[in-house]
Each structure stands twice: as C-alpha cells, then as structure tokens.
Amino acid sequence: MVKILDTTFRDGGHQTNWSFEHKFVENYLKCCDSSGIDFLELGYRNNIDKENKGEFFNCSVELCQKFYQKKGNLSLGVMADTSRLSLDDFTNSKKDYVDFIRLATHPDRIEQTLYYAEELKLRGYEIFIQLMEIPNLKPQHYEMLQNWKSKNILKSLYIADTYGTVQPQEIKIYFDKLRSIGYENISFHAHNNTNNALANTVNAIREGAYAVDVSYNGLGGNLSMTDLFEHLNKNMDYYKTLSYSKNCL
C-alpha cells in the first residue's frame, strides 16, 4: 500500500513565505489524520537565511511541540536542506517533537548527506533522503549511493522532480536504476511545471513506490491531493491502496 506524504506547509510555504494561521494548521492536521495521509512535513528547519521568513521556515522545538500534540496518527516531520543543515539543530527525536527528517540534497552534496543521515538516525529520527535534480545525477553519484553501507537506516530514498521536467516514461528508468544499486523503498516527489505531476506519480505508484507526495490544491507546485485521491478512487479496483474521506477537504 503506497503511503502519502503531505507537503502543504513545507513546499507550500514558498507561496506563503512559510506563514500559516495556527488554527488552520490544527484543523488541517485533523483532516489529514482522518484522510489516510501517513506523513506530514510541518516545514523546514533552517537556521540560515531565515530572516523575513515565517516560522514554518525554521520550525522550532516549541512550534513542533504545539502541533505534535494534535497530530493524531500522523507521522510529523521537517525537511532540512543539507546546504543549510547544522546537526546541532536536531538533538533527539523525542525531545524535538519530530518523527522524521527529510534530508534534501543536490548531487554535489550526496556524500555529506549520507553522513548526516547516519548521525541523525542515531538520534532517533526516521530518515528520508530526497535526491534533488534527479536527471542531473551522474555515474559517480550513483556509485556513491551504491557503495553506502548504511542503506538500511533509511525509511525511504526519494526521487525529486525538482524542476518538473521528468516525463512519465522516465519514472521506471529511475526506479530500476536505484533498485539495481540496492535501494528498495523508493519514493517520488512531483512538481507540476509541465502538468505531469499526476502522470508521473501514477507511474511511480505502479513501480511500487513506498510513498508519494501531495499538497492541498497543489500548493507549492506539487501534485494536488484532490487530483491523486480522485484518480485512486476511480481506479480503486486496480490500486486498492488508500482509504480516505472524500468530504474531508
């Protein structure tokens, strides 16, 4: 059964300057919890370039604690861009009120990101790694990923269509490539620049994706939650992957 990760507050923050009414966030958490969503990113945790940005750009422990208490069965997490990450920002998952961290890395920072993943796993966090600019990965990057001895610590390895240029027929190529170097739980993060977010995500699900990403009304340029749920509902006999309340949103 494919899992769903909601990016409304993290990627959607690019359109709202990472500012959201707390009451809206609380209501949205309840809605996601009752809709079959598995993971929700509350925002970023960045201690660099945070000036003039809303509080969801650098999710403090206090902010995470407030919403952690209202998350229900959701797994609550944050994204950390490895170009802005300090390990001092993440002390311990239980004290931090964060279940998972998604480490976003561009190709030139993969080696550093693998080190961060190992360190943060020791501190109790579930770890996703998101490979940005997937079309720009070179043979040396795949070799680095293949030679990594700690693949088993990952919740999942994400393929990110950072610029929305990946075509549906390419999804299988990337999944096959990552499986061939030892990765089993592969996930997909779509952008809709060329209106392929749904088609690409559907193909990722067909390839056995561990998780795929959505946001409310496609906020942040992501796949719209409604579009994915409507598709799954129409094809439920084929997928049989997700239960949800159509009236929730």
Residues 6+ apart with CB under 8 A from 125: 90, 93, 96, 98, 99, 100, 101
| pLDDT at residue 15 is higher than 90 | yes
Kindly report the pTM of this predicted structure.
0.93
Mean pLDDT of 166-191: 98
| pLDDT at residue 243 is higher than 50 | no
Mean pLDDT of 211-219: 97
Structure confidence at residue 242 (pLDDT): 44
Residues 6+ apart with CB under 8 A from 177: 142
Spatial separation of the C-alpha atoms in residues 53 and 209, rounded to whole Å: 33
> With 0-12 CB in 10 A as exposed, 13-18 as middle and 19+ as buried, what is 188?
buried
Output the average pLDDT for the chain.
93
| pLDDT at residue 191 is higher than 70 | yes
Structure confidence at residue 235 (pLDDT): 85
Mean pLDDT of 52-65: 96
Taking a C-beta distance cutoff of 8 angstroms, is the pair 2, 203 a contact? no
| pLDDT at residue 43 is higher than 80 | yes
The identity of residue 136, as a single letter, is N
* CA count, 13 A, side-chain hemisphere, 189: 27
Spatial separation of the C-alpha atoms in residues 86 and 94, rounded to whole Å: 18
Q: At 163, is the secondary structure helix, strand, or coil?
A: coil
Higher pLDDT, 112 or 249: 112
Taking a C-beta distance cutoff of 8 angstroms, is the pair 198, 223 a contact? yes
Q: At 145, is the secondary structure helix, strand, or coil?
A: helix
Mean pLDDT of 228-236: 88
- pLDDT class of 238 with cuts at 50, 70, 90: low
- Tell me what percent of the chain is helix, strand and coil, each rounded to the nearest 5: 40, 20, 40
Taking a C-beta distance cutoff of 8 angstroms, is the pair 121, 87 a contact? no
Strand partners, 130: 104, 158
Strand partners, 156: 128
Q: Is 142 left (phi over 0), alpha (psi -120 to 50) or beta?
A: alpha
Q: Which residue ranges form the domains of the chain, and what is each CATH number?
A: 3-239 (3.20.20.70)
Q: Name which of 47, 45, 34, 44 is nearest 4 in CA terms.
A: 34
Q: At 134, is the secondary structure helix, strand, or coil?
A: helix
Structure confidence at residue 249 (pLDDT): 38
Q: Name which of 228, 225, 248 is nearest 239 in CA terms.
A: 228
Spatial separation of the C-alpha atoms in residues 49 and 174, rounded to whole Å: 32
Mean pLDDT of 2-18: 96
Mean pLDDT of 164-173: 97
Structure confidence at residue 109 (pLDDT): 97
Mean pLDDT of 108-137: 97
Mean pLDDT of 206-231: 96
